[in-house]
Amino acid sequence: MRLPSQLKTPLRSYWSVAGNDTETLWWPVSTNQQQQEQEPSKKKKILLFIPGNPGLVEYYTDFLEEIHHNVPFPLEIFGVSNLGMNITTPASTKGTTSGKLYSLQDQIDHKIACFDILCQENPDTEFILMGHSIGAYISVEVLKKRHTQRITQVVTLFPTIREIGLSPNGVAFTKLFSYLPMSLVSTSAGLLSYISSPLLERLVMLLTGQTGPCAKVTAHQLLHGSVVKNCLFMAKTEMKQVRELDHDFYNAHAHKFVIYYSRNDKWAPYDHYEYMKEHFPDHEHLYLCEQDIPHSFILGKRHNS
C-alpha cells in the first residue's frame, strides 16, 4: 500500500490478529522512499516494532516517526500494542476490555501471529524486528519460531532478555507484589479514570514528570483498571519466564542482532552488558550507550531521537 502525500503519519487503526483487536500505528512507504525503492540496492523493508511493558505503542510515536523520517532506505513500520491494552476498540463500544489477563507467552504468540500476517501479505520483503525492554525478548522469541523466514535483523533496545527477576527492578517488583494485592493497585488506577481529563493529565505530569503526548497516553490509556491489571499480570509472568540466555540460539544468529544497553538501567543492568560482552566477544553490534539514556527513554522528550 502507498501513502498519499497529504496524509499525516502515523496512521492509526485496530488490526484484527487471531481474533484480537490490536492497536496499530502504521508508517507506509513515503513518497520520497517510493522513489528510492526503484534503486536495486534500496528495496523496501518492513519493521515490526514491539513495545515494552506497559505495551502501549502510542508511547513510541515520536521515536518511530524519527526512524521513519531518517532511515536511508524505503521502510514501512508497523508498531503494535500488547494484548489487553485496548480500552476502546471497534468491538467494544462501552470503552472496556474483555477482562482477560494475558501472559508473556500470550504476547509472544500474538506477535508471531502479527508477523505471519505481514509475511504472507509481503512475500518478497525482508523484515526487521525491533523491541524495547521485554519487547526485545518477544522479538527474539519471534525469531526463534520464524528464523527460516525473511528476518534480516533484530534490534533490541535496553533488552530484558535474561534473568529479569534478578535485576534491581525485578527484585523490587517481586517483593512489592508479594505483599501488595494486584487487585488493589488496578482498582486504585481504575478510580483515577473518573477524574476529568484536564485534571488527570495535570496530575500525571505532576507525579511522573511526563509531558505532552506521553502524559496523555498515561492519563487516558494506561490508567484503567483492566490495563494496569494486565501490565502487572504480564510482569509477574516475565519474572518466571525470562531466565537463562539461550546461548546456542544467540551463537547461531548473532549476525542478526543489534543489542543496545545503558549503564544506569535497572531492568537490564550494566552487568548484563558485561555478560554479553564476555560470552559473545566477537559480536559486532553490541553497544553500551555513552549518554546514559534511561530505560524508559520514550517518556523523556530529549531522549526520544
pLDDT band at 199 (very low <50, low <70, confident <90, very high): confident
- Specify the pLDDT at position 244: 96
pLDDT tens for residues 111-145? 999 999 999 999 999 999 999 999 999 999 999 99
Angle at 26 between CA 227 and CA 83, to 5 degrees: 25
Coil, strand or helix at 196: coil
d(CA 170, CA 172): 5
Mean per-residue pLDDT, 157-167: 97
Strand 20-27 with 11-17, pairing: antiparallel
Q: Model confidence over 240-268: pLDDT tens digits?
A: 999 999 999 999 999 999 999 999 999 99
pLDDT the model gives residue 1: 40
Dihedral angle computed from the Cα positions of residues 92, 122, 53 and 252, in that order, rounded to the nearest 10 degrees: 150
Domain assignments of the chain as residue spans, ordered by start: 11-164+242-303
Question: Which residues fall within 8 angstroms of residue 69, CB to CB, at 6 or more apart?
Answer: none
CA dihedral 174→186→304→114, nearest 10 degrees, is 90
Task: Provide the β-strand partners of residue 75.
Answer: 45
Buried b (16+ CB within 10 A) or exposed e, 46-73: bbbbbbbbbbbbbbbbebbbebbeeeee
Q: What percent of the chain has pLDDT over 70?
A: 88
Kindly state the cell numbers that stand for 116: 505471519
Predicted TM-score (pTM) of this structure: 0.90
d(CA 103, CA 231): 9
Contacting residues for 35 by C-beta, under 8 A, at least 6 apart:
none
Instruction: Look at residue 198 and tell me whether its pLDDT is greater than 80.
Output: yes
Q: Cα 23 vs. chain centroid, distance in angstroms?
A: 12
Q: Is the pLDDT of residue 181 over 90?
A: no
End-to-end alpha-carbon separation of the chain, Å? 27
User: Residue 178 half-sphere exposure, CB side, CA atoms within 13 Å?
Assistant: 7
Q: What value does the mean pLDDT of the chain take?
A: 88
- What pLDDT does 33 receive? 62
Residue 82: closest CA among 17, 27, 129, 141 = 17
The CATH code that applies to domain 11-164+242-303 is: 3.40.50.1820
Say whether pLDDT at 301 is over 80: no
DSSP letter for 66, please.
H
| Cβ neighbour number for residue 74 with a 10 Å cutoff | 20
Q: Quick one: cell of 111?
A: 506477535
Express each pLDDT in 37-58 by its tens digit: 556 667 899 999 999 999 999 9
